[in-house]
């Protein structure tokens, strides 16, 4: 089983928590919890998509359908979380919220590096 998705989700959570801790220390409580909410607005939908893709399937076309449903669900969850945050959370630091979201989403690109690292480690060029 490919663990890249799970590692990316773990790193997204850790980076989001780290950013929130820094913002909490520098700018205060509102910035800290706003960053946590922004990070969760990225991690929760990504976890939904990741779990949809990782579920075992027998039909090859089922993975493509799962990816489409997962991506649509990810978009819907992102909109839902931001809607709830903007309508229910007061006070809110919008800059910290979006910083948490963007920084956490950027962690996804590290998955490409992790995936390339796995491929490099498993390549056997000496013929044995």
In a domain, 79, yes or no: yes
Q: Which residue has the higher pLDDT, 119 or 60?
A: 60
In a domain, 126, yes or no: no
What's the pLDDT tens digit per position in 88-111?
Answer: 999 999 999 999 999 999 999 887
Rounded Cα distance between 14 and 10, Å, is 6
Neighbours of 121 (CB within 10 A): 8
Structure tokens belonging to residue 128: 């044995």
Which H/E stretch holds residue 80?
A: helix 60-88
In a domain, 120, yes or no: no
Max CA distance (Å), the chain: 62
Whole-prediction pTM value? Answer: 0.84
In a domain, 39, yes or no: yes
Phi, psi (5° rounding) for residue 57? -140, 150
pLDDT of residue 120: 55
In a domain, 118, yes or no: no
Could you list the residue range(s) of the whole structural domain that residue 24 is in?
A: 4-111
Residue with tokens 């910290």: 96
For the chain, how many structural domains are there in total?
1
What's the pLDDT tens digit per position in 6-27?
Answer: 999 999 999 999 999 999 999 9
């Amino acid at each position: 089983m490919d663990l890249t998705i799970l590692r990316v989700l773990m790193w997204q959570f850790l980076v989001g928590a780290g950013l929130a801790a820094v913002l909490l220390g520098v700018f205060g409580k509102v910035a800290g919890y706003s960053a946590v909410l922004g990070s969760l607005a990225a991690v929760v939908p990504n976890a939904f998509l990741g779990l949809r893709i990782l579920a075992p399937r027998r039909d090859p076309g089922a993975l493509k359908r799962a990816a489409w449903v997962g991506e649509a669900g990810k978009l819907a969850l992102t909109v839902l979380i931001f809607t709830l945050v903007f309508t229910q959370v007061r006070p809110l630091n919008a800059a910290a919220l979006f910083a948490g979201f963007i920084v956490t989403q950027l962690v996804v690109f590290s998955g490409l590096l992790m995936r390339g690292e796995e491929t490099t480690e498993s390549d056997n060029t000496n013929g044995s």
